[in-house]
Structure 1
Amino acid sequence: MTRLLVTGATGKLGRAVLRHLLETSKVAPGNLVAASRDPQKLSEFAAKGIETRATDFDDEAGLVKAFTGIDRVLIISTDELATPGKRIAQHKTAVSAAAKAGVRHIVYTSMPNPDRSLVSFAPDHLGTEEAIKASGTSYTILRNSWYDDNYLMSMPHNLKVGTWYTAMGTGKVANITRDDCARAAAAALADPPAGNQILTLTGPESLNAEEIAARVSKAAGKPLDVVHVTDEQLTQGLTGAGLPDFVAKMLVSADANIRAGNFDLVTGDFEKLTGAKPQALAAYLETQKAALTA
């Protein structure tokens, strides 16, 4: 019996991965382990016959225990972004624990072009990829593009005022849905591609700010004008709106990364893994009308 463990199982991506493992990849519940810092929050999975385990990325000994008896593990990147250096340390701890526990294959959620990305947390992903390669454990690294879902954090406000301030410039981005990334991760965990693979997961088209705004506007039934600003102006606007400095830095760096062309790539890797086509942004936004107009 091949046992598969998903870390971060209480998060949005982790929950979706487990759903796809059960429903799309047709993995038996008895082959799955849902893991989280707080396993008491995993009762919904336990009710389905999935084993639950505690995984604290700050506790290597505890991780070794959790990973023992596991054949393949999905390491979902943590959300520790406020403290510089903490996230990469956690990831390296998890990779080390997987190797010590005898895990045969690691699947990791990374980002496109982490070696040249301008996004503030890119070094965390690059360092983790390097640690996985150095561990001697076979791997599938999934470089997830910027989520369509991220637009739901800002577009409802933008639509209310009718304006989207962005520092993307003329850059383009091939967004993908979180659910498609989850489906791909489930497929890679259930049936990893041969050898060590680095796959970049993108949507079917790369779009500039005006093209994105047009799709948002159509789905919401409201006008949305794009106003291009500098990094400094965007930073002032975000911090003025009350966002923490590290969040503002992340968002501004993401726009800079798009402007630099580092998110402007469309691949067939999602279809290679899943046999399906990724959902287009317009189709995703049509399913999110209520959220956009809230």
Structure 2
Amino acid sequence: MSQPTLLVTGAGGHLGRIVVETLLESGAGKVIGTTRDPSKLADLAAKGAEIRAADFDRPETLAAAFKGADRMLLVSTDALDVPGRRLAQHRAAVAAAVAAGVGHIAYLSAPAPYPTAEPSLIGDHFWTEQAVVASGADFTLLRDHIYTDYLLFGLPHAIATGTLYTATGTGGRNYVLRADCARTAAAVLARATGQSVLDVTGPAPVTQNELAALASEISGRPVAHVALPAEAMKQGLAAAGLPPGMVEGLVAFDVAAAEGFHAITTSVVKDWTGREPGSVQDFLTANAAALKAA
């Protein structure tokens, strides 16, 4: 049998790039990577990927970009600046995939998505999943839990100030490395059959109290976790200058964690990659210098 043609959207992003590289290394089939600016992915083209231009804000570009693909990984975009923009992008991509005859759509979602009254990060994931399921194609919904990598954005400040503020209460989060998610997505794109939903998690949930203790141990500086009500967390993030869509998404994730939706553990990473997922402790230890940089 001939190998399938595999397409990865958002190939210029941190995760998409790893997926493309993993597929090329494994020889899983012809690999297409789409991006707004193909000139920025000349290195992937040199490794054997076909790079095509695709602008999710211009749906008319997607038919040519997806032509000939048998299987597609739809990487969720970061278009949170305008309410409803990201969902429109995703729906256009799913429609174009169907029109192009894509037989299997894998979508990078989030844990426990649900509909919201107003456009939101988590609501976008819910409605995109619905669009994928309704597409008629086989599908895999990859519900990636929060990336361990994101700890490098907020934890250095917490170490510098001695306080880690969250709205997670005592709930645990099963942080997972972006690279583990990318390798899992690559394997799913190459091999998954039928219709399934997979929660992609790290090895074990970590509470924010435990995270603060780890940060203290690794940095040598005292860090305390302070649990805030959701509204107070929103106000703090907004005062720090974060855009409204990002504030809403971060606090919604905190609340979901407080309610227990981020504390599950699965074997998905090992099942698909053959490797155990990396732990928070190992990641923070490896990035000790960055943690103390603030």
**1:2 matched to which residue of 2?**
4
Contact 1:3/1:72 (CA < 8 Å) preserved in 2?
yes
Pairwise CA distance, 1:254:
1.6
DSSP 3-state at the match of 1:169 = coil
- 1:188 aligns with 188
> Is it true that 1:86 corresponds to 2:88 in the alignment?
no
Amino acid at match of 2:125: H
| Distance in 2 between residues matched to 1:95 and 1:244, nearest whole Å | 27
Q: How far 1:27 sits from its partner (Å)?
A: 3.4
List alignment gaps of at least 5 residues for structure 1.
Answer: none
Q: CA deviation at 1:8?
A: 0.4
Report the CA distance between 1:87 and its aligned residue: 0.8
Cα deviation code 1:47-82 (max 9, x no counterpart): 212111011112333211111111111110011112
Q: How far off its partner does 1:216 sit?
A: 2.4
Q: Is the 8 A contact 1:120 1:253 kept in 2?
A: no
Counterpart Cα distance in 2 of 1:22 and 1:281: 28
Q: Aligned with 1:58: secondary structure?
A: coil
Determine if the alignment matches structure 1 residue 21 to structure 2 residue 23: yes
Q: CA deviation at 1:145?
A: 0.4
Measured in 1, the distance between the counterparts of 2:218 and 2:11 equals 31
Contact 1:37 1:55 (C-alpha < 8 Å) held by counterparts: yes
TM-score, normalization by structure 1: 0.93
SS at match of 2:284: helix
Paired residues, number: 290
* Contact 2:121–2:245, Cα closer than 8 Å, also in 1: no
**What is the CA distance between 1:116 and its match in structure 2?**
7.2
**TM-score (normalizing by structure 2):** 0.93
- Unaligned stretches of 5+ in structure 2? none
Match for 1:132: what amino acid? V
The equivalent residue for 1:155 is 155
Residue 278 of structure 1: aligned partner: 277
Contact residue 34 and residue 51 of structure 2 kept, 8 A: yes
Cα RMSD between the aligned structures?
1.8
- Secondary structure of the corresponding residue to residue 5 of structure 1: strand
Asked if 2 retains the 8 angstrom alpha-carbon contact of 1:36 and 1:54, the reply is yes
For residues 94 and 9 of structure 2, what CA distance do their matches in structure 1 show? 12
Q: Distance in 2 between matches of 1:116 and 1:271?
A: 30
- Which residue is equivalent to 2:202? 203
Contact 1:174 1:204 in 2 (8 A): yes
Partners of 1:196 and 1:246 in 2: CA distance: 31
Distance 1:280 1:262 in 2: 19
Q: 1: CA distance between counterparts of 2:6 and 2:218?
A: 38
